[in-house]
A and B are shown apart, each in its own frame.
Chain A
Amino acid sequence: MRELKVQPIRNGTVIDHIAPGMALKVLHVLRIPQEGMTSTVTAAINVPSKEMGRKDIVKVEDRELDPHEVDKISLIAPRASINIIREYEVAEKHLVHLPDMVEGIVRCSNPNCITNQAEPVLSAFKVTSKDPPRLQCGYCDRLITDIAAQLR
């Protein structure tokens, strides 16, 4: 019965091995749902997993996500794997890769940082550690350890 809970998709993207409870944050980072988007999206939370005990899975049908966009989820799911599905088969598989700089998705945890004011700039962070992910504000130098709490 388990396989019926999360049905296979014909074409699209499956993000697997997301830490349990983080699926909705992953969608948030991917800006899903976007206006005008018609793809069916499934988020499975607390799916039993041999490797991880429990894990979350996100499936986006009829859309192959841009790998650079998907890399951003490594901020909150550093071990996630991305599977591009074509005709029910895994056509491509890769692990997320955290870029050296992150712009815009995270807000600085320092309330007195200039990027939290009404200035025409995106937040910008240097990635100082990839696993666990750690960021340093490119403006005020604040270190961000709880990244999930600072997602915009």
Chain B
Amino acid sequence: MAQQGLRGKSLVHIQDLSLPDIEHVLDVADKMVPAAEGKQRVTSAQGRLLATLFFEPSTRTRLSFEAAMARLGGQSLGFSEPKTSSAAKGETLADTVRVTSQYADVIVVRHPQEGAARLAQRFSRVPVINAGDGAGQHPTQTLLDLFTIRREKGPIGQQRVALVGDLKYGRTVHSLAQGLARFGTEMVLVAPPTLQMPRDQVEDLKHAGARVTLATRLEEVVGSADVLYVTRIQKERFPDLEEYRKVAGTYTVDAELLAQAKRSAIVLHPLPRVGEIDPEVDSTQHAKYFQQAFYGVPVRMAILSLILGLGE
């Protein structure tokens, strides 16, 4: 049973979850939506504590975890940047985790170094949830992306999803693509050649059951996509600023572009956005990125609930 699959376990990598596990998280998240909206009172996590260890700031992720724990009736403690933690005194992550895992029932870790969550899992006496480790994994983001697609569009495997932007370095798209591949989803990878997804990763997606095509121009893809998943192209990746401006401008989603899109197509973005989506899109029926941000709460409620074995 999938629920027993998650109880007492850590969530470090999206590949830690089987397809039934993922579907079960999404099913439970569906039931959590009214409580996440504040329309229903849940007390299943009463007396339970979540420790949020944020070694780098990420306000959105931390607040949505804390909101999720509070909406389940539990409480949170923790720090939001290393300056206010013992890491500033030179303590190892291993020791911080060994100590704090004695104060809480579950730990959420955000860390600037890759592999940090795996290490935390080794030293923790309670389950660890990875809330992003460097350029590595961020599995709860993937789950909320999948949830948004299912909730707003229906069966994940029946969508044509265009992943747009920095597909080479962007960690969000790598783990989302791995998640979509599990459902056999059709993917179009839209990026300039210099920022296209590495070939071995594309091969992995195909092996996992996805139908994958590559494209460079958004205009070619927009008419046939059910989901446009837009990511930020990071300026610091480009040695030449002029080169960056050229590429960044190519992938601006605006009302003019969306005029060619299906009426039912949705636009998603992990946020923060920096010019990839024109604010004029916000008021169209396509814009679902703020809804997506909200879904972080019911999805994290589902994850906490399943890991803590709270029942539904």
List the interface of chain A (C-beta within 8 A of B).
Answer: 108, 110, 112-115, 117-121, 137-142
Contacts and interface: CB of A to CB of B under 8 A. Distances in A.
Contacts of A119: 92-94, 119
Given A114-B133, A137-B115, A141-B13, 9 more contacts: A112-B112, A114-B111, A115-B115, A117-B93, A117-B113, A119-B119, A138-B118, A139-B115, A140-B136
Given A112-B134, A139-B119, A140-B136, A118 B92 contact: yes
A117 B96 CA distance: 14
Contacts of A110: 114
Contacts of A113: 113-115
B113 A114 contact: yes
A118 B118 CA distance: 15
Given A112-B114, A137-B115, A121 B136 contact: no
Nearest to B13: A141
A45 B6 CA distance: 54
B245 interface: no
B94 A121 contact: yes
Classify the secondary structure of A's interface with B. Answer: loop
A113 B113 CA distance: 6
18 contacts: A113-B114, A113-B115, A114-B93, A114-B113, A114-B115, A114-B116, A115-B115, A119-B92, A119-B93, A119-B94, A119-B119, A121-B119, A121-B122, A139-B114, A140-B114, A140-B133, A140-B136, A141-B114
Contacts of B241: none
Interface residues of B, number: 17
Contacts of B115: 108, 113-115, 137, 139-141
Q: Which of B115, B118, B122 has the most CB of A within 10 A?
A: B115
B135 interface: yes
Nearest to B116: A114
Nearest to A117: B113
Contacts of A138: 118
B118 A139 contact: yes
A138 B122 CA distance: 12
Interface string B104-129: 00000001111110110010000000
A115 B122 CA distance: 13
Nearest to A124: B118
B122 A114 contact: no
A120 B134 CA distance: 19
Interface string B5-17: 0000000010000
Contacts of A142: 114
B113 A112 contact: yes
Contacts of B116: 114
Contacts of A117: 92-93, 113
